[in-house]
Amino acid sequence: MSDTTSTEHEWPLWEVFVRSKAGLDHKHCGSLHAPDPKMALQMARDVYTRRQEGVSVWVVRSDQIVASDPGDKDMYFDPAEDKVYRHPTFYVLPKSVDHM
Amino acid sequence: MYTQAMDTMGKDKDGPKAVRSAEELRLEERFDERIDAGGFIEAKDWMPEHYRKTLVRQISQHAHSEIVGMLPEGNWISRAPTLKRKAILLAKVQDEGGHGLYLYAAAETLGTSRDQMLEALHTGRAKYSSIFNYPTLTWADMGTIGWLVDGAAIMNQVPICRCSYAPYARAMIRICREESFHQRQGYEALLTMMQHGTEAQKAMVQDAVNRWWWPSIMMFGPPDDQSPNSAQSMRWGIKRFTNDELRQKFIDAAVEQAKVLGVTLPDPDLKWNEERQAHDHGAIDWKEFWRVIGGDGPCNRERLGARVKAWDEGAWVRDAALAHARKQSHLKEAA
């Protein structure tokens, strides 16, 4: 067990995205370790779609994903908070045309 | 399947730190507020060190339980009585492998590596559910494990779907969705034997129930007054019900199921308490529980030995796959 337990020998981590049925988006559903793209795809099929949960699978190396920092959450997303005019409900129209 | 009230099983020497900086206190206050508001914590969010440690321990022990849990059932795949039962058992064991993987992945988001967790399991530092250290002697054990062991696990696991740590909660939702078939197939297998079986087969079911009943109700962990970490886990939204509450719920449900099945539960003190509107039960042998957790159950050595052997003998496959992947990517770069 000695040298096989070092992280150097660990297979890289992949994120798995599954399209549950035609017409819908791929959605993140978990991660797994695999040595290469082909194995990652096959293992994603085995681990995440044992009950026909998907019609298509994406795998992406986890270290290739660029993510926003949770610490920046307010700075990043709050500026949209006061822009209510981006929503259709901001505009009050006469009843007769309100289905617009 | 297969979490156990694991919080009592870690010998955690370093509890919550006594001395904290002002900044840390402020962060912890915000963290507590978020938990109180029913919010979720994500992997990259700030969290108290003790929260992280508790979760790593609980999730990894849960993952180990799924993986070790494949062994007692794997024993019967080649001995299943019909092709149908064999396919069902294979699917169930495959699910358990999958559940272990979801959970390892959830634990990894907390900053521990897969190899570190496996090493902890293989060296005996990490624990797994005590239930898998009992032998599976007959085919009726397969049905009984589904009914009682998976039943107890589901009772334990459903509340974890609302765990404050979101990656764990998400893994649990997926697991619980897949788990219900495990219990139903077990109960149905027993029902088939009880309704269509020979006298010997019926006796086999009763014998299996006699052996698995007590270990199953031990799966909820020690009684509340001996679960020192429970309060903290409840405070943090890692745990939603106490060990005794869940055990009671399980026993009350199992009594009815046993009646339908036509078996008795091996506890002479088990009876309905009108006042409590619940079943009273006999004393649980906690000495046995601690002995099995501590490594001295009927199959501890065999289970761990099988895991280590599988890991060691698979080393060349893992290394070869990695070497192949490296070679392919070099060839691609060169081209």
Q: DSSP assignment of B70-86, as one string?
A: HHHHHTTGGG-SSHHHH
pLDDT class of B15 with cuts at 50, 70, 90: low
Does the beta-carbon distance from B311 to A4 stay under 8 Å?
yes
How close, in Å, is residue B322 to chain A by CA atoms? 5
pLDDT of residue A6 exceeding 70, the answer is no
pTM: 0.90
Each residue's pLDDT tens digit, B303-330: 999 999 999 999 999 999 999 999 998 8
What are B249's two structure tokens?
């719920």
pLDDT of residue B3 exceeding 80, the answer is no
**CA pseudo-torsion sign B290, B264, B203, B155:** negative
Q: Is B146 left (phi over 0), alpha (psi -120 to 50) or beta?
A: alpha
pLDDT of residue B230 exceeding 90, the answer is no
Is-contact B246 B217, C-beta < 8 A?
Answer: no
Does the beta-carbon distance from B315 to A4 stay under 8 Å?
yes
How close, in Å, is residue A38 to chain B by CA atoms? 10
pLDDT of residue A30 exceeding 80, the answer is yes
Of A6, A29, A36, the CB nearest to B115: A6
Question: For residue A6, what is the nearest residue in chain B, using CA coordinates?
Answer: B115
Is-contact B117 B59, C-beta < 8 A?
Answer: no
| Mean pLDDT in residue range A38-55 | 95
pLDDT class of B11 with cuts at 50, 70, 90: very low
pLDDT of residue B217 exceeding 80, the answer is yes
SS3 B262: coil
- Tell me the C-alpha distance between A59 and A56, whole Å: 10
pLDDT of residue B60 exceeding 90, the answer is yes
pLDDT of residue B212 exceeding 50, the answer is yes
pLDDT of residue B144 exceeding 50, the answer is yes
What pLDDT was estimated at residue B16?
58
Q: Which CB contacts under 8 angstroms, 24+ apart, belong to B176-183?
A: B178/A50, B178/A51, B178/B95, B178/B98, B178/B99, B179/B1, B179/B95, B179/B99, B179/B150, B179/B153, B179/B154, B180/B154, B181/B92, B182/B1, B182/B92, B182/B95, B182/B146, B182/B150, B183/B146, B183/B147, B183/B150, B183/B151, B183/B154
Higher pLDDT: B79 or B12? It is B79
pLDDT of residue B252 exceeding 80, the answer is yes
Smallest CA-to-CA distance from A13 within B165, B67, B172, B114 is with B114
Start-to-end CA span in chain B (Å): 48
How close, in Å, is residue B50 to chain A by CA atoms? 20
Pick from B115, B174, B176 the residue to mutate for testing the A interface (most A CBs within 10 Å).
B115
What pLDDT was estimated at residue B18?
62
B26 chain-A contacts, CB cut-off 8 A: none
Task: List the A56-61 sheet strands across, edge first.
Answer: A26-33, A13-19, A56-61
B170 chain-A contacts, CB cut-off 8 A: 30
Is-contact B107 B63, C-beta < 8 A?
Answer: yes
A9 chain-B contacts, CB cut-off 8 A: 115, 318-319, 322
What are B92's two structure tokens?
């169930």
| Mean pLDDT in residue range B219-230 | 88
How close, in Å, is residue B106 to chain A by CA atoms? 8
What pLDDT was estimated at residue B1?
44
Of B94, B105, B328, the CB nearest to A31: B105
| Mean pLDDT in residue range B87-92 | 97
Does the beta-carbon distance from A4 to B113 stay under 8 Å?
no
Compute and round to an integer the Cα radius of gyration of chain B: 21
How close, in Å, is residue A1 to chain B by CA atoms? 6
Percent of chain B beyond pLDDT 90? Answer: 84
pLDDT of residue A7 exceeding 60, the answer is no
What pLDDT was estimated at residue B4?
53
What pLDDT was estimated at residue A73?
85
Q: For the complex shown, is ipTM > 0.90?
A: no
pLDDT of residue B30 exceeding 50, the answer is yes
Does the beta-carbon distance from B321 to A35 stay under 8 Å?
yes
pLDDT of residue B209 exceeding 80, the answer is yes
What pLDDT was estimated at residue A80?
86
Question: Chain B within 8 Å of A67 (Cβ-Cβ)?
Answer: yes
**Phi, psi dihedral angles at B290 (to 5 degrees):** -65, -30
